[in-house]
Amino acid sequence: MNEFSRRGFLKSAALTTGAAAITSVTPLPAFAAKGKDSPILTAGRWGAMQVTTKDGRIVSSKGALAKTVPNSLQTTAADQVHTQARVKYPMVRKGFLATPGKPDGKRGNDEFVRVSWDKAYQLIHEQQSRIRNDHGPEAIFAGSYGWRSSGVLHKAQTLLQRYMSMAGGYSGHLGDYSTGAAQVIMPHVMGSIEVYEQQTTHPVILEHSDVVVMWGINPLNTLKIAWSSSDESGLEFFHKLKKSGKTIIAIDPMKSETVEFFGDKALWVAPHPGTDVAMMLGIAHTLVSKKQHDVDFLSKYTSGYDKFEAYLLGTTDGVAKTAAWAESICGVSVQQLEALANIFSQNRTMLMGGWGMQRQQYGEQKHWMMATLAAMLGQIGLEGGGFGLSYHYSNGGNPTRDGGVLSAISSTIGGGSSAGNDWAVSGAVNSLPVARIVEALESPNKKYQHNGHELSFPDIKMIWWAGGGNFTHHQDVNRLIKAWQKPELVVISESYWTAAAKHADIVLPITTSFERNDLTMTGDYSNQHLVPMKQVVEPQFESRNDFDVFADMAELIKPGGRDVFTDGKSEMDWLKGFYDQAKKGAVKARVRMPKFGSFWNKNELIEMKVNKKNNQFVRHASFRQDPIMNPLGTPSGKIEIYSKTIEGYGYADCPAHPTWLAPTEWVGNAKDGELQLMTSHAAHRLHSQLNYAKLREQYAIANREPITIHPADAAARGIKNGDLIRAFNQRGEVLVGALVANIIKQGSVCIHEGAWLDLDKPLGICKNGNPNVLTSDIPTSQLANGCAANSSLVKIEKYTGVAPSLTAFTPPNNA
Amino acid sequence: MKIKKRYFAACLLVAIVLGWLTLGGTAYIMKKTSSTEFCISCHTMQIPYEEYQGSIHFSNAKGIRAECADCHIPSNPIDYVITKIIASKDIYHEFVTGKIDTEEKFEDHRMAMAETVWAQMRANDSVTCRSCHVRDAMDSFEQSEDAVKMHEFAKENGQTCIDCHKGVAHFPPEAEMDSEAFDNLLTKTLETNDTATSVYPVAAISMGDFGSINPATPLTVIETTGNNRKVQINAFQMQGAERVLYSGNGQRSIVATLSEQGQAALTVGDFSEDEYGNHWRTASLIADIDAQVLSDITPLWQYAEQLDTVYCSGCHAKIGANHFTVNAWGPVAKGMGDRTDISVEDLEILTKYFQAHAKDMVKH
């Protein structure tokens, strides 16, 4: 370091000689040399993390951003890498190895044999080529759905589809399990999907809203994660909201972690699960009868309100949807409904809607009715008013930053023949609504309705699933297991011995994100940070990166395939490319990003710049300001309370305006002690991810997934807190541990989704308590075909047999 | 005179030593104060330093680095000394005025600072660039086609490196036009009198229940009462896009956006199919406006030309409006505009200017 500086120079009296000693130092920023076991910065869905290793093993991990509300998921890095549930080697099912491509009905009930990677590749390639040749690309399902891991390069599903598009195409999926109904209905109503879009910002809510309604959201659990990586602003927002003195109302059948968090700062209103539309209709009717609805807004900004009002007042069906009518369905008193109507209409009110309510039969009606209610309140597009469907997800409402945004690897190779390659690139040739996969397996070529189109299911002969856990996220698992026997080949790319892996023909061991290099942004809406996801440990056992697996497989399609798949670039080449692209955007925002090499060596995150205008973003403000110049994307350009498009479809299960439709199974027709089952998002998991982690000790009861039971329902069945419980219905049975507490609407139980299936073959019971054994696999309606997990009735009783030992996280023998 | 001689010798020696110390010292100071370490030792230099660290002039595959002085201090002795003397003002601002001691202040002065450096480099024909980048040493076959073309153009037109290669080591300043120009334009509208037979809006204006009219749209005046005018728009409609009126048959320059009432009030011709299978018809509308408007469009186009200078030619040489068609200018202006700080309103005026003078609008 040259010991010379302008500041020191001027302080020195030696101007005339110049040669005098000059001592002040302003060092150049030095890259601190990282010690061998000093923490490494990486990231997961749960945010940026510092991970500490010792002798090549992870010993601890913690969040890298300052926070007020702790996030338990950030402590799990060691478990993720070193759990006994890891898939160590490529494994093939014994029966498959004996007669490849001839289904023997033994998937999930067979031994596994260890093979070499090359052998596994060869088996997959031969079978796939045969199937592709005989049945065409449609016979290969690569719609592989799930949450995989963070990162813009190591994206399992995208890489699978990139490879499959080089191989000649595949059957893919439409939509998702999270918002299947909402993302199809909302474009008809609001002209955009709403559920994955930026919300009126947190600062605007804190400044302008008088009333915040948390309608079926549990951000304390769901904001621990984000689709890219959490920027962790959401929980800070709810922390501030709690201290704001605003009127906070939580509408939820459960006294969730969030309701507990707000304590006496929030009012808890508990309707019966699945009755939100009736409850909202009761409020809407009250508004009309007290002339508290905004007639001017409805006439200027909405279309078809008159037809809806005729239904609301009962002129079309003879049933006025009064508060008293609503009380009889939702179990919330007339007084409370009238009070809510009054509070909502007399104050600047933000309705924050959750998604569980639309994962029900007729789920399309829920958010449609919420948008209608918000339109009647006339506050859509005003600061802090209206409704928002993403406050509980990926930190929606955290203002969008200015700066560099990472791009990501794409599901098709670039260019086609014009790019100098002669690959006949083809994407998804048939896409089915993601939650209808079992029906597709059962009824190939069957015609069905979807959002106004007649489609037909592909005849699936091969499935390759990468980065997803469909044996936990799909409904009616026993039905899935039966249908799963049909294909001629099932390949699972996995880091862990999930139930899906245990029901595969070929299982490929894949690295976790801690064993490879990647990049991610935090904040799906904010793009707040760019985080290096630096490799922390060596790949475990024989695991490989999806990127390398599919590059190897591409080379088998045709020599040269590897270079086409990878674009001739290594892992680090790709990352540098994404970074350099982001850096271009950063210049405009005055975010100073160093060259990639120095960024990577430094191993520090880069925070993007605050944009004052974005801080004040109000959803639909421009529409409100000028509905002619800024129309919504609906056919009328307005909020469609009545949709002529949907009317044209003629679906009995999705009428043309928001309508209360009683589900096939719900608390209103429960008999013989049946209870309504809810499958909410768990506190210490990302869906089924991390079920194996030590965190499980914090929530498991009797070493099973807990079931929340109202004390009165428990007493009626002689159940005590901590008891081992058998929950069952016509679809199956599970073992769960009783959590008896006055934190749930009487008549309902909750088993959080995500417990790994652990079927005891002789008993036919899931020993770990996967609630999807009990849920029904029906579509929300013909419009969206979303999953309807929250429309199921179950019975419960104290389990009196010998408790079978848990094997959910135990690999098969020899594995 | 031994003493005198000795005295003289001693004096000479002292003088030599002093001279050596002074000159050598000066040279030493000059050299040291040109080092990158010295430059960045000031607090305010952190910003340009970090920007430079992200640039190819700081690090690259070949391991060659251009230090601050390599670009900012010419090596010819006179320019060298002049540059050093001018740079002493930086010391004054660093320690006395604190002129750029925050990010905001730095950003406020970025344009002025950049312009100073650009002017200097233009004056000396980018001599510091050329100390490394020599035209003779450029192999045109290793350059992209565009680069070769632009270098030829630059040579023929007497341009120098910095005319195009701005923002290569530090972030380029972002142009922003002051609001005075638009205020002047609004003042011009006050000159429009009751006898004007055609008028032009300078911003999007309302037609009451009918919708709104885009800037620069020619309006035929039917009746004038003070600021209230009954005007007629003669335009075109495309089937499937009835909410908007376009400037010409097949020309997607939006002149007005209509409400349902606006659509109902149209006088329309018959649809006829164009060569792309789109159906177009004439559509005229009589509407009431009460906004200030121009009677002569020239000031609006002058304003647009200023926008072109500030926002477009800040990055690249101006591109003639007749380079693209009406339909092409819409997306081109939008795509390029997104890369600048131009406001939505100004971009609309600029787009209208390009479209009005587009390839398919003017004859040459």
Which pLDDT tens digit goes with each residue over A169-180? 999 999 999 999
On whether both A108 and A198 belong to a single domain, the answer is: no
> Can you name the residues that pair with A521 across neighbouring β-strands?
A530
Q: What is the DSSP string of A652-697?
A: TTS-SS------SSSGGG--TT-EEEE--B-TT-BTTBTTTSTTHH
Task: Judge whether residue A721 has pLDDT over 60.
Answer: yes
Widest pairwise Cα distance in chain B:
119
Mean per-residue pLDDT for A120-129? 98
pLDDT digits (tens, 9 = 90+) for B74-112: 988 888 888 888 888 888 888 888 888 888 899 889 989
Task: Judge whether residue B234 has pLDDT over 60.
Answer: yes
Closest CA to B109 of B121, B119, B96, B98: B98
Tokens representing A808 are: 């959910």
Q: What angle do CA A180, A184, A189 make, to 5 degrees?
A: 135
pLDDT at B363: 60
Tokens representing B361 are: 């609008």
On whether both A150 and A191 belong to a single domain, the answer is: no
A595 and B58: CB-CB below 8 Å?
A: yes
A583 and B54: CB-CB below 8 Å?
A: yes
pLDDT at B332: 82
Tell me if chain B has a CB within 8 Å of the CB of A21.
no
Closest CA to A231 of A355, A393, A409: A393
Q: What angle do CA B3, B6, B7 make, to 5 degrees?
A: 80
Mean per-residue pLDDT for B231-251? 93
pLDDT at B129: 95
Task: Judge whether residue A26 has pLDDT over 70.
Answer: no
pLDDT digits (tens, 9 = 90+) for A762-772: 899 999 999 99
Residue B124 is assigned to a structural domain of this protein? yes
Tokens representing A537 are: 């440990």
Task: Judge whether residue A415 has pLDDT over 50.
Answer: yes
Confidence at A23, pLDDT banded by 50, 70, 90: very low
Query: What is the CB neighbour count within 10 angstroms for residue A11?
Result: 12
Strand A765-766, strand A732-740: pairing: parallel
Residue A609 is assigned to a structural domain of this protein? no
A592 and B53: CB-CB below 8 Å?
A: yes
pLDDT at A285: 98
Rounded to a whole number of angstroms, the distance from the CA of B206 to the nearest CA of chain A is 10
Tokens representing A718 are: 């002689």
Closest CA to B246 of B319, B172, B326: B326
Q: What is the mean pLDDT of chain A?
A: 93
What gap in Å lies between CA B125 and CA B135, rounded to an integer? 13
pLDDT at A279: 98
pLDDT at B5: 82
Residue B152 is assigned to a structural domain of this protein? yes
B21 and A19: CB-CB below 8 Å?
A: yes
Closest CA to B68 of A452, A6, A565: A6
pLDDT at A8: 42
B33 and A598: CB-CB below 8 Å?
A: no
Strand B293-294, strand B198-201: pairing: antiparallel
Q: What is the mean pLDDT of chain B?
A: 88
Phi, psi of A356 (to 5 degrees): -55, -35
Confidence at A187, pLDDT banded by 50, 70, 90: very high
B28 and A19: CB-CB below 8 Å?
A: yes
Residue B103 is assigned to a structural domain of this protein? yes
Tokens representing A676 are: 């309504």
Considering only A9-13, A256-260, A793-797, B156-160, which range has the smallest mean pLDDT?
A9-13
Q: How many residue pairs bridge chain A and chain B with CB atoms within 8 Å of each other? A: 83
Considering only A35-44, A399-408, B235-244, which range has the smallest mean pLDDT?
A35-44
Q: What total number of domains does chain A contain?
A: 3
Closest CA to A216 of A177, A262, A274: A274
Of A26, A583, A628, nearest to B41 by CB-CB distance is A26
Four-CA torsion B78, B82, B83, B86, nearest 10 degrees: 180
On whether both A731 and A701 belong to a single domain, the answer is: yes
Residue of A nearest to B91 (CA): A6
Quick one: A522 exposed, middle or buried, by C-beta within 10 A (0-12, 13-18, 19+)? buried
Q: What total number of domains does chain B contain?
A: 1
Residue B76 is assigned to a structural domain of this protein? yes
Tell me if chain B has a CB within 8 Å of the CB of A299.
no
Task: Judge whether residue A27 has pLDDT over 50.
Answer: no
Full-model pTM: 0.84
Of A5, A18, A597, nearest to B41 by CB-CB distance is A5
The domain containing residue A169 runs over which residues?
Answer: 91-176+412-516+537-571
On whether both A96 and A113 belong to a single domain, the answer is: yes
What gap in Å lies between CA A586 and CA A256, rounded to an integer? 40
Collapsed DSSP state (helix, strand, coil) of residue A207? helix
Confidence at A7, pLDDT banded by 50, 70, 90: very low
Considering only A596-605, B180-189, B217-226, which range has the smallest mean pLDDT?
B180-189
Which residues from chain A sit within 8 angstroms of residue B38, using beta carbons?
Answer: 4-6, 9
Closest CA to A276 of A189, A193, A372: A372
What gap in Å lies between CA A591 and CA A611, rounded to an integer? 12
Considering only A90-104, A290-304, A410-424, which range has the smallest mean pLDDT?
A410-424
User: Do residues A75 and A44 lie in contact, with contact meaning Cβ atoms separated by under 8 Å?
Assistant: no
Quick one: B224 exposed, middle or buried, by C-beta within 10 A (0-12, 13-18, 19+)? middle
Tell me if chain B has a CB within 8 Å of the CB of A367.
no
Q: Which positions in chain B have a beta carbon within 8 angstroms of at least one beta carbon in chain A?
A: 21-22, 24-26, 28-29, 32-33, 35, 37-42, 47, 50-51, 53-55, 58-59, 91, 94-95, 103, 107, 167, 171-172, 174, 204, 211-212, 243, 257-259, 262, 339
Which residues from chain B sit within 8 angstroms of residue A1, using beta carbons?
Answer: 37
Q: What is the DSSP string of B48-86?
A: HHHHHHTSTTT--TT-----HHHHHS-SSHHHHHHHHHH
What gap in Å lies between CA B124 and CA A699, rounded to an integer? 74
Residue A805 is assigned to a structural domain of this protein? no
- The CA-atom distances, in angstroms, between A639 and each of A368, A492, A630, B165 are 10, 44, 12, 49
Phi, psi of A779 (to 5 degrees): -80, 155
B257 and A628: CB-CB below 8 Å?
A: yes
User: Do residues A302 and A640 lie in contact, with contact meaning Cβ atoms separated by under 8 Å?
Assistant: yes
Rg (CA), chain B: 30
Strand B228-238, strand B279-289: pairing: antiparallel
Residue A137 is assigned to a structural domain of this protein? yes
Tell me if chain B has a CB within 8 Å of the CB of A589.
no
On whether both A356 and A207 belong to a single domain, the answer is: yes
Mean per-residue pLDDT for A296-301? 96
Considering only A154-168, A264-278, A506-520, B160-174, which range has the smallest mean pLDDT?
B160-174
Task: Judge whether residue A18 has pLDDT over 60.
Answer: no
B94 and A6: CB-CB below 8 Å?
A: yes
Half-sphere exposure of B32 (CA within 13 A, CB side): 19
User: Do residues A171 and A431 lie in contact, with contact meaning Cβ atoms separated by under 8 Å?
Assistant: yes
Residue A26 is assigned to a structural domain of this protein? no
pLDDT at B21: 78
Considering only A231-240, A395-404, B153-162, B189-198, which range has the smallest mean pLDDT?
B153-162
Task: Return the percentage of chain A with pLDDT > 70, whole number.
Answer: 94
Of B91, B95, B212, nearest to A628 by CB-CB distance is B212
The domain containing residue B38 runs over which residues?
Answer: 33-164
Mean per-residue pLDDT for B1-12? 78
On whether both A197 and A248 belong to a single domain, the answer is: yes
Q: Where are the beta strands (DSSP E) in A548-687?
A: 606-607, 639-640, 675-678
Quick one: A432 exposed, middle or buried, by C-beta within 10 A (0-12, 13-18, 19+)? buried
Residue B50 is assigned to a structural domain of this protein? yes
Which residues from chain A sit within 8 angstroms of residue B114, using beta carbons?
Answer: none
Residues with Cβ within 8 Å of residue B62, at least 6 apart in sequence: none
Mean per-residue pLDDT for A87-95? 98
User: Do residues A504 and A109 lie in contact, with contact meaning Cβ atoms separated by under 8 Å?
Assistant: no
Which residues from chain A sit within 8 angstroms of residue B171, using beta carbons?
Answer: 587, 590, 592
Mutation site, A5, A590, A628, A630, interface B, largest B CB count within 10 A: A628
Q: What is the DSSP string of B312-363?
A: ITTTS----GGGS-HHHHHHHHHHHHTTS---HHHHHHHHHHHHHTSTTTS-
Confidence at B6, pLDDT banded by 50, 70, 90: confident
What gap in Å lies between CA B42 and CA A553, rounded to an integer? 56
Confidence at A21, pLDDT banded by 50, 70, 90: very low
Considering only A342-351, A598-607, A702-711, B117-126, which range has the smallest mean pLDDT?
B117-126
Rounded to a whole number of angstroms, the distance from the CA of B335 to the nearest CA of chain A is 14
Mean per-residue pLDDT for B149-176? 86
Task: Judge whether residue A4 has pLDDT over 60.
Answer: no
CATH of the domain at A672: 2.40.40.20
Q: What is the DSSP string of A484-539?
A: TTSSSEEEEEESB--HHHHT-SEEEEB--GGGS-EEEEE-TTT--EEEEE---SPP
Considering only A79-93, A781-795, B233-247, which range has the smallest mean pLDDT?
B233-247
- The CA-atom distances, in angstroms, between A550 and each of A86, A125, A150, A257, A424 are 20, 11, 18, 41, 17
Mean per-residue pLDDT for B10-38? 82
Half-sphere exposure of A613 (CA within 13 A, CB side): 3
User: Do residues A399 and A617 lie in contact, with contact meaning Cβ atoms separated by under 8 Å?
Assistant: yes
Bigger pLDDT: A387 vs B316:
A387
CATH of the domain at A224: 3.40.228.10
Which residues from chain B sit within 8 angstroms of residue A303, using beta carbons?
Answer: none
On whether both A122 and A187 belong to a single domain, the answer is: no
User: Do residues A181 and A277 lie in contact, with contact meaning Cβ atoms separated by under 8 Å?
Assistant: no
Residues with Cβ within 8 Å of residue A418, at least 6 apart in sequence: none
Task: Judge whether residue B342 has pLDDT over 50.
Answer: yes
Collapsed DSSP state (helix, strand, coil) of residue B231? strand
Mean per-residue pLDDT for A591-595? 94
A31-40, A176-185, B68-77: which has the highest mean pLDDT? A176-185
Residues with Cβ within 8 Å of residue B57, at least 6 apart in sequence: B65, B66, B71, B168, B169
CATH of the domain at B56: 1.10.3820
On whether both A745 and A722 belong to a single domain, the answer is: yes
On whether both A375 and A491 belong to a single domain, the answer is: no
Residue B184 is assigned to a structural domain of this protein? no
On whether both A187 and A157 belong to a single domain, the answer is: no
Mean per-residue pLDDT for A775-789? 98
pLDDT at B320: 81
Strand B198-201, strand A732-740: pairing: unpaired
pLDDT digits (tens, 9 = 90+) for A353-395: 999 999 999 999 999 999 999 999 999 999 999 999 999 999 9
Residue B149 is assigned to a structural domain of this protein? yes
* Long-range interactions of A798-804: CB distance < 8 A, separation 24+: A798/A717, A798/A718, A798/A719, A798/A723, A798/A724, A798/A725, A798/A726, A799/A723, A799/A724, A799/A725, A799/A726, A799/A735, A801/A763, A803/A702, A803/A724, A803/A735, A804/A735, A804/A760, A804/A763, A804/A765, A804/A767
Q: What is the DSSP string of A67-90?
A: -SS--GGGG-HHHHHH-TTB--S-
pLDDT digits (tens, 9 = 90+) for B270-287: 999 988 788 999 999 999
The DSSP H or E segment spanning A588 is helix A571-588
Confidence at A468, pLDDT banded by 50, 70, 90: very high
Closest CA to A220 of A379, A383, A424, A69: A69
Closest CA to A514 of A41, A198, A22: A41
Considering only A395-409, A510-524, B93-107, which range has the smallest mean pLDDT?
B93-107
A530-539, B99-108, B178-187: which has the highest mean pLDDT? A530-539
Phi, psi of B288 (to 5 degrees): -100, 135
Strand A639-640, strand A302-303: pairing: parallel
Task: Judge whether residue A24 has pLDDT over 60.
Answer: no
Residue of B nearest to A580 (CA): B54
On whether both A161 and A186 belong to a single domain, the answer is: no
What gap in Å lies between CA B310 and CA A282, rounded to an integer? 58
ipTM: 0.70
Residue A305 is assigned to a structural domain of this protein? yes
Strand A759-760, strand A765-766: pairing: antiparallel
Domain final residue, candidates A547, A571, A595: A571
pLDDT at A589: 84
Residue B185 is assigned to a structural domain of this protein? no
Tell me if chain B has a CB within 8 Å of the CB of A629.
yes
Which residues from chain A sit within 8 angstroms of residue B94, using beta carbons?
Answer: 6
Tokens representing A414 are: 């670039």
Bigger pLDDT: B20 vs A393:
A393
A7 and B243: CB-CB below 8 Å?
A: no
Residues with Cβ within 8 Å of residue B103, at least 6 apart in sequence: A590, B47
Quick one: B218 exposed, middle or buried, by C-beta within 10 A (0-12, 13-18, 19+)? middle
CATH of the domain at A510: 3.40.50.740
